[in-house]
Amino acid sequence: MRRVFLGAIVFLSCFATFVRAENKTTRPPNIVFILTDDQGYADLSCYGGVGLKTPRIDQMAAEGIKFTDFYVASSVCTPSRASILTGCYPQRVGMGEIPPIPGGKPWQTRVLYRNAPYGLNPSEISIAKLLKTRGYATACIGKWHLGDQKPFMPLAHGFDYYFGLLYTPDMPPNCFVRGNDIVERDINLETVTDRYTDESIKFIKENKDKPFFLYLAHTEPHVPIAAAKRFHGKSERGLYGDVMEQLDESTGKILDLLKELNIDENTIVLFTSDNGPWLAKGEDGGLATPLKGGKGSTNEGGQREPFIVRWPGKVPAGKVSQELTVAFDIYPTLAKFAGATLPTDRIIDGKDISDLILDKAGAKTPHDAFYYYNGDKLSAVRSGKWKLKVVTTLAEEFGGYGKFEQPDAKIPRALYDLSMDPGEQKNVISEHPDIDKKLVALLEAARKDLGDSRRDMKGENVRPIGHVVLEPKPKDREAIRLWDGDAPGAQGQADADIPTITPYLPKVPTSAAMIVCPGGGYQGLAAHESSPPAEFFAEHGIAAFVLKYRLGPKYHHPVELEDAQRAIRYVRSHFGDWHLDPHMIGIMGFSAGGHLASTAATHFDYGDKSAADFIDRFSCRPDVQILVYPVITMGEGAHAGSRTNLLGDEASQELIDLLSNEKQVTEKTPPAFVMHSVDDQAVLIGPNSDAYVAALKAKNIPVEYVRGALGPHGVGMKETWTPQLLAWLIKMGYAK
């Protein structure tokens, strides 16, 4: 009996081992694809980088294969990422150059900007969609930059899970998005890499028992760069080197986790960047040594990137490939490894490079040619070791990512032997007319297939960019309702009493906005009483929004505050409609409107992230406050009419104190400009402006106080106060 029992144990043990082996061989491999942002060719130790240490990425190369002649399909973010996810040239999927944003700036065509009606077309079959046909769990963690309208977001492109920044940190506001929703605002950029790493680790742990695809698209080292404090000063390359060393640590944590979970040998890990370094940023940009050029350029430094693949037991260790490969090859190659079937109803430009990755004998590049595009302008072609460049200009070559005294200066045609001259220093076009002729013919074929806006040619085989029709933008001087339905406390409210904001838009904006609260203590004042300050703001580049708020015999607190808070939230949540900086939204008020402005500045919240109403998810804290001849206190010395209009005939002492704003100042109250005249007989200066300014100073809040014989109460809303205010606004960075 004992022998039978022991035999059974041995059998079961062998069977379990067989099952584990069977699972490893039949289950598709896990995939971790790490993409950095604006990293240079020479920003890793294993690619010749100096002044920084990247031991974990170097180890990854030592345990796998690295490619010396690997290209991304664009030298800027959006088109490069579109290419990677679709396996196509950006021009093929309509993403080589973005159509101008309605009402935007003419140069906003190289990459996508916030609130654009364009993005990666949902009809495209992304690598995530393709892998899901093989049962993969899919996650995109990090930067997206392929559209922020819902049909263009990661969840619409085959990702089960998304967490990250939709744009680069130089396109504020910097908000973490989970799924389709903003979950954190005003994030500390020093925490971003760690947050991405933690989210990646969590995803891998939760999906370790099934095939998974993790697309980890780091925000770094795109400017403004930031590293966790523990990395500050670690490298010899300044903050940029510190950033790269933290990215190396992040990569190492993921590699360690794969071993810890015993899935290392069934996981492919890939590492590259979306385009070359932003050289114009100096020490905050990377290096592409020995290559020429960087981000925005079709020189080698703009599009040739490190590429490392590690797959223990499958990819031989310590290999180097000098074969021409392209980022869009990742798409069909991963499909091959996963056992997925490529689409047959569309052109896929990528080629299967699995034989190169696996270092099979005799494996060669599958590409006869690779085309370099600047936007939709065809700029160069590589075939074999030869690269032919067409005539370009300095401005075009760096696409706004560098400054030149003569941006229109022509750069002549050139032919380079990249095997001998990867830095593109020696033009040998006159010595090889036969090569020149061959490559010109390849350029002509590309123009026919993909197009060339340099010659106004549209490609025969291109697909459209994704496009949605957005709601019309509000017009200048056209009132906007703050609520679609009834406002809070508005039962039976007449149309004349509905709170609105009326925009006064500048011709040359500064990205700042100001909510203007008229005085008088009643809603719906005559336009002439609020138009002078609104026109003043617009004249100096600040978008002004005149608030029609509810107060007076029919309405009492808190409806007036709800109206002001809604106005701030509305403008902040619609910042893209007016090209505003959501961190530069102030509030200004005169007289009783000054009380409302100061109330908004001392009674605010930072939004409810889970609110059903999208607008309510945004903060109602103003960034600055401007008070002119203001009512501040509701206590002793208060203007009797204002207190009655605000609180009614009877009010508790608790409510009076709550709305005596000199008593409500905290360290979070925003900076203030206060103007009051000793000649004001309607509102006493002492218990109002003097007391409020003293309270601000006691909390170390920056305040500019203009106090003197400035004229009676009615003067405040006229232009006599603008010189002092303009100087303050310029100092604060709000006005020109």
Q: Which residues are catalytic?
A: 77, 145
- State the number of CA atoms in the 13 A half-sphere of 91 facing the CB: 23
Alpha carbon distance 258, 253 (integer Å):
9
Residue 311: half-sphere exposure toward Cβ, Cα within 13 Å: 20
Please provide the DSSP assignment of 52-70 as one string. ---HHHHHHHHTSEEEEEE
Asked if 66 contacts 320 with a C-beta cutoff of 8 angstroms, the reply is: yes
> What length is written for the chain?
736
Task: Please check whether residue 211 is in contact with residue 201, taking contact to mean a CB–CB distance below 8 angstroms.
Answer: no
Compute, in degrees rounded to 10, the torsion defined by CA atoms 412, 415, 418, 420. Answer: -100
**Contact (CB, 8 A) for 61 and 311:** no
Give SS3 for 480. strand
Tokens of 133: 């046909």
Q: How many CB atoms lie within 10 A of CB 599?
A: 27
Type and span of the H or E element at 362: none
**Amino acid identity for residue 290 in this structure:** P
Distance between CA atoms of residues 71 and 273, nearest Å:
10
- 234: helix, coil or strand? coil
Distances (CA, A) of 558 to 196, 474, 550: 41, 27, 10
Cα-Cα end-to-end distance for the chain: 95
Q: Categorise residue 498: left if φ over 0, alpha if ψ from -120 to 50, beta otherwise.
A: beta
User: For residue 31, is it left (φ>0), alpha (ψ between -120 and 50) or beta?
Assistant: beta
Locate the DSSP E strands across 83-203: 118-119, 137-142, 161-164, 176-178, 181-184
Taking the C-alpha atoms of 277, 280, 281 and 287 in order, what is their torsion angle to the nearest 10 degrees? 30
Cross-strand pairs, 516: 546, 588
Task: Measure the CA–CA gap between 323 and 215, rounded to whole angstroms.
Answer: 25
- Strands 137-142 and 161-164, bridge-based pairing: parallel
Angle of the 592-602 helix axis to the 559-573 helix axis, nearest 10: 70
Going from the C-alpha of 334 to that of each of 31, 35, 127, 632, 658, the distances in angstroms are: 8, 15, 8, 65, 63
CA distance 300 to 292: 6
